[in-house]
Amino acid sequence: MECPLGKIISVLGMKWNMPILRELHNSKARFSLLHDSLKPISSRTLSKRLKELEKLKLVKRQEFREIPPRVEYSLTVSGLELIKCFDPLAKWAKKFG
């Protein structure tokens, strides 16, 4: 039987996933804003990570049919619940890490 934490730990352990989730914690963001706030991440890597997080239902992508086209990313309910776990982990890491 697989450990229930194994999957999420592997997701959070991937480079850039934690910073992306942290950036989306407070508000929605367009790709360009995320890219600027997470430099030196490449556009290709950011796009790939967002697709992975979307597939895991942690991030939601919303398209707006405008000219020019607009896309916003935000956390899902699941993503918001996951973010709540970060503070206790950070406190633990400061105390014992």
Domains of the chain are: 4-96 (1.10.10.10)
The chain-wide mean pLDDT, for the chain, equals 93
pLDDT confidence of residue 26 = 85
List, for residues 22-59, the tens digit of each pLDDT value: 999 989 999 999 999 999 999 999 999 999 999 999 99
- 3-class DSSP state of 46: helix
Both tokens of 46, joined, read 């950011």
Task: Tell me how far CA of residue 81 lies from CA of 31, 68, 75, 85, in angstroms.
Answer: 22, 33, 9, 7
Instruction: From 53, 25, 20, select the one nearest 39 (Cα to Cα).
Output: 20
